[in-house]
Structure 1
């Protein structure tokens, strides 16, 4: 957040004091300090994140969109800060919060992309077992209903598009399995047995 507000000041978009000087809004931000320390080894061993090509593209587009909002948010902060005392200004607080949310999401996406590996979905060996990016058709043994899912990383998961995370109860037990196998998923409604009908 302070980084963003410094950006606002450097661009000359922040409020001015009675002498016409830019007010440094970063001084009004309280930063919660943390005592948690990461060792150099822990940082180096940060887990690689596998992404489908589609998921990687979606994150890139979202990142570009968020970065394009920075100037607009800077102007919003400038307008709000010009209204009255910056210490008692609800619109200013709202603009700061939105800027903070955007900056936080930008950092999150950049971190994900920095550790991402785009999987090759055209690899012929991928069609033999369930892996990230695999489209898998399963049957609920008890109800005999069939479902088709794409197994993706947590950052790409979207139940409305039938994209399930590899960390979800079903996604975890499907990984590494082949067509014909039965798996038991520990779901909120209890253990559910599925049979893998096909994978592609």
Structure 2
């Protein structure tokens, strides 16, 4: 098939990377824990030093085989290179914008701020433990919620013993703050 009939875009919109790439609210910083920052740097380094060179080698080999129009290794390799390059641009941009926060250095340890682990009880009587982390670190099923999530925004600045109101599409919920904790100084696990 002629290239005139194929659609190949090299989309530079770095935020168009699927559901895991949450855009930052306009005018906000990209807050990130030390561990989250290190994880993104490690991913970027792996893409640059391992994955991309391997795919480039496969594409070069496939290109040397002649006809590229029906060469699966070549076509897939080129597609994968675009995906890797897009992810590398995204990671580079996010790391440049990162504002690394070490929650273990938080002076107000009785109040909820970025990096806090909060145990709260909802009005149904269920306990929930969440840690407030950066947008790129959020894993809700593991209890890591983004600082821009509705729950985190409701919890910010609350203290142990406070009852806060959380407005959701399902209605209003009352959350009782049971415990607020931070990692000990020098401990960067989240």
Q: TM-score with structure 1 length normalisation?
A: 0.71
Match of 1:172 in 2: 153
Deviation at 1:79, TM superposition (A): 2.4
- Indicate the SS of the match to 1:125: coil
Distance 1:71 1:33, change over 3 A: closer
Tell me if 1:122 matches 2:90: no
What is the count of residue pairs matched by the alignment?
162
Match of 2:68 in 1: 86
Give, in whole Å, the separation in 1 of the partners of 2:153 and 2:32: 16
Give, in whole Å, the separation in 2 of the partners of 1:183 and 1:196: 8
Q: Larger % of helix: which?
A: 1
Alpha-carbon RMSD across the aligned residues, in angstroms, is 2.4
Unaligned runs of 5+ in 2: 1-6, 14-25, 182-190
CA contact (8 A) 1:135 1:150 kept: yes
Tell me if 1:113 matches 2:95: yes
Tell me if 1:73 matches 2:55: yes
Q: Which has the higher contact order (CA 8 A, sep 6+)?
A: 2
CA contact (8 A) 2:133 2:145 kept: yes
Which has more radius of gyration? Answer: 1
Distance 1:33 1:75, change over 3 A: closer
Q: TM-score with structure 2 length normalisation?
A: 0.75
